[in-house]
Structure 1
Amino acid sequence: MGPSWLWLLGAGVLVCQPFPAHGGKNLVLPQAPSDQLPGPVPAYHKVTPTITSFALRLYKRLAAGDPGNIFFSPVSLSATLALLSLGTQADTQTQILEGLGFNLTETAEADLHRGFQSLLLTLDLPSPKLELKVGTSLFLDKQLKPQQGFLDSIRELYGALAFSGNFTESAEMRRQINEYVRKRTYGRVAGCLQDFSQDTLLVLLNLIFFKAKWKHPFNRYQLQKQGSFLVDERSALRVPMMHQKAMHRFLYDQELSCTVLQIEYSGNALALLILPDPGKMKQVEAALQPETLRKWDQLLQPSLLDLHLPKFSISGTFNLEEILSQIGLPNIFNSEVDFSGITGQLNKTIFRVSHKAAMDMSEKGVEAAAASGILSQPRVLNTTTATHAHFNRPFLLLIWDVTTGSLLFLGKVINPAAG
């Protein structure tokens, strides 16, 4: 067997801190570009709806096989796979992009790459109210001679930087790349690169770091240290439980038997938390579609909540080869796939697709809650009676960038103490 190529697709982290703010915002979920949008349509609108659809498909596969916590970055994964397609020949490039969900009869491949370029540049714009950094790096063994056209394309479209190193010193290269990831994520993602041997010649790495301040921070003096969290029907954990009374947009979906809560960051980002009724998690997961998210966004109403939410630290580490092959990317792991667009050499194979993301939520950071209902949700603002919202069982979490409508992180909290 010839040398192998290791592709590390993403390492993400979410850290939140408190910050008082005023005003409110709605999440405008991404839709296909239309004539109704005023002015020029930003190029990222060509890719953000598909990223959301890809994320929900991937989540369902992960949830079907993993009973524990789930956490990953759809933006990180989809951008890196799209970048990967630039190093393949036409048939494989088409397969990768269509596997991500893009319709190439409606949107040209070049326009999709420009869409990712626009998305990454927009996400990376500086903001005084939150910190969001997205970056891609390519590490190659010094014996490889990368194609200049490929390097130029990934730098222009994805802001990717290329580094050369001695991959025959596998332990040292692994240490250097892991240290690079640790520093770029401010210590939040460590030891992400494990499967690394002398056969490894190349590592493609995407990083995403998100640090936000919250509009309504929890009062650290109201932290309940002995709250109960029901992991399943038979077991419960004693975990630190945060508490606050604050205004949030929420609803209760009677059809799907779940509570949906939107929490705002200071800056253009939102968290969406979904709390299924006991025994209804699989029903809610099965219904996760872009249309469901848009329906919830239209029906969420502001109200005063008496909110209880656990402190937690979760992470997700996944080797995704088998799952990706099940959702439309079957051939990129085949030894016959031509990646000569990267180095001009044939018969190099991808043997590992890895992704790691991590998140912390505490009274210094994130907020969440839920209540009321789609069919019965009042259309008037409730500011007198606080609705009780108790996140004391498994729930879903989505982190959105409002400007681009892109899904930065998606996860499920089964065990808040696992991290």
Structure 2
Amino acid sequence: MSRSAQELLGYHCRLQDKLQEQEGSLAAEGRHSLASAADHMKVVPSLLLSVLLAQVWLVPGLAPSPQSPETPAPQNQTSRVVQAPREEEEDEQEASEEKASEEEKAWLMASRQQLAKETSNFGFSLLRKISMRHDGNMVFSPFGVSLAMTGLMLGASGPTETQIKRGLHLQALKPTKPGLLPSLFKGLRETLSHNLELGLTQGSFAFIHKDFDVIETFFNLSKRYFDTECVPMNFRNASQAKRLMNHYINKETGGKIPKLFDEIDPETKLILVDYILFKGKWLTPFDPVFTEVDTFHLDKYKTIKVPMMYGAGKFASTFDKNFRCHVLKLPYQGNATMLVVLMEKMGDHLALEDYLTTDLVETWLRNMKTRNMEVFFPKFKLDQKYEMHELLRQMGIRRIFSPFADLSELSATGRNLQVSRVLQRTVIEVDERGTEAVAGILSEITAYSMPPVIKVDRPFHFMIYEETSGMLLFLGRVVNPTLL
């Protein structure tokens, strides 16, 4: 081999070795680069997976568009990323509002029940005050008085308002927001008036002397909550004022109370009148064919003859062993009932009045049992009128009837305005068809097998309730069914 050929061959070998060294170096660098890339791959897939899951979770059903890592996400995708948590928050807020609404409804229902209970207790307290002056027949509407005085409370402030609440037994309600108390009465009044089977209508008038400017807010609130009609009156012309007011009442009660006022003081500034008309029909009427004249015992020695109704069928009743009295339930149409309380012994009916409470009545109702019975019940008609302001004074409501009355929410001159009179006249008639009434203004109980006959032939008490609300509409005592 020539030298040139050998040199060429050596050059080729050195070149080949150098190329192999470079390839080895490149291979080593490649392995290092792959190792480094592998290290990065351990992190990057988790980030991408997180982003992909986020996109799928936020935009379900939509495939991600093919974009390079450097391409920014479209605006609508970004907004969707924020939208889901916002929707969750809205759902939570709606659920919270629904829960609050249910709680408010439950609280409102409890408040209405408490209102009915306290109004009934007020009625029993008022009964005791009336009984101190009258030992004969008696009938009035606790609901009517409480409704009217609460309406007047819209115009009262300070101690005047506080006294009314306390006197009406309404301080226990503890309203959490303004207007709650009148709104409770409004709801109750509307519920009763919309019950057509019950046959109850209610209204009130505020006769105000024309020299006083009544605040428009009081007019609006009185109309809104109590449907009160405020009527300006010139009490200086007493005869004309008496005639006009009697006309209003006669018209509104359908002629049942043609004359409420006998005389008017010319110095009068405000007269408040409420009326309730109740035309209750027995759920099971008494048959007039069986009504006969029978004996009614006024006391141990005196008796009279009265028309006595007769009914046979299923009646609910109980007997209170502590007070020794029968309690009979006579239901009306429209979820109302008359409770008749008949003492076992003659003359004990007055003693019972000191113990009458809502709790006692509820105990009687819980222990009622329905059975087949015969019932004798007298027909009667009562017509009673009371100067309620005198009775309310005795129950602690004094300031509103005095020169210290604060009626600044009623009139700009409210410091010089006081309530002169609060009158309520109640007319009730009970016969075979039912009851027609107009109002212008812890015991141990044993339910035992009642005798097959209950004969109401001696003085008794009666209470007319609306059962759904538990409101005591009328409360009375019958000593002589032949007298008004």
TM-score range, shorter chain: 0.7 to 0.9
> 463, 468, 472: which one pairs with 1:403?
468
Q: How does 1:224-373 map to 2 (within 5 A)?
A: 224-225=292-293, 227-277=294-344, 278-345=346-413, 346-366=415-435
Partner of 1:60: 128
**Larger relative CO (CA 8 A, sep 6+): 1 or 2?**
1
Name whichever structure is richer in helix by fraction: 2
Question: For residues 154 and 211 of structure 1, what CA distance do their matches in structure 2 show?
Answer: 26
Partner of 1:393: 458
CA contact (8 A) 1:46 1:115 kept: no
Question: For residues 170 and 266 of structure 2, what CA distance do their matches in structure 1 show?
Answer: 36
CA contact (8 A) 2:142 2:474 kept: yes
The structure-2 alpha-carbon separation of the partners of 1:143 and 1:366, relative to structure 1 and needing over 3 Å to count, comes to: closer
Question: For residues 315 and 230 of structure 1, what CA distance do their matches in structure 2 show?
Answer: 21
Runs of 4+ displaced beyond 4 Å: 37-40
Partner of 1:151: 219
Deviates more, 1:38-47 or 1:283-292: 38-47
- CA deviations on 1:181-210 (whole Å, 9 max, x unpaired) are 122222222322234132223322211111
Whose radius of gyration is greater, 1 or 2? 2
CA contact (8 A) 1:257 1:280 kept: no
Question: For residues 166 and 262 of structure 2, what CA distance do their matches in structure 1 show?
Answer: 29
CA contact (8 A) 2:379 2:430 kept: yes
Partner of 2:63: none
CA contact (8 A) 2:209 2:269 kept: yes
Partner of 2:22: none
Q: If the length of structure 2 is used for normalisation, what is the TM-score? A: 0.72
Paired amino acid for 2:467: V
Question: For residues 147 and 223 of structure 1, what CA distance do their matches in structure 2 show?
Answer: 55
The structure-2 alpha-carbon separation of the partners of 1:40 and 1:119, relative to structure 1 and needing over 3 Å to count, comes to: closer
Paired amino acid for 1:310: P
Paired amino acid for 1:67: D
**Aligned residues, how many?**
372
Alpha-carbon distance, 1:343 to partner: 2.0
Alpha-carbon distance, 1:55 to partner: 0.4
Alpha-carbon distance, 1:104 to partner: 5.7
Paired amino acid for 2:368: L
CA contact (8 A) 2:271 2:420 kept: no
Partner of 1:415: 480
Partner of 2:83: none
SS of aligned partner of 1:321? helix
Partner of 2:243: 175
Q: Which runs of 5+ in 2 are unaligned?
A: 1-102, 437-443
- Are residue 94 (structure 1) and residue 159 (structure 2) matched? no
Partner of 1:220: 288
Paired amino acid for 2:430: M
- CA deviations on 1:210-250 (whole Å, 9 max, x unpaired) are 1121111111111112x111112232111111112121100
Paired amino acid for 1:377: Y
Paired amino acid for 1:390: K
CA contact (8 A) 2:363 2:445 kept: no
SS of aligned partner of 2:170? coil
Partner of 2:203: 135
- Are residue 116 (structure 1) and residue 185 (structure 2) matched? yes
Give the RMSD, CA atoms, in angstroms: 2.4
Q: If the length of structure 1 is used for normalisation, what is the TM-score? A: 0.83
CA contact (8 A) 1:43 1:114 kept: no
- CA deviations on 1:124-171 (whole Å, 9 max, x unpaired) are 2151x2311011222223332111111111111212122234333321
CA contact (8 A) 2:205 2:228 kept: yes
Question: For residues 71 and 267 of structure 1, what CA distance do their matches in structure 2 show?
Answer: 22
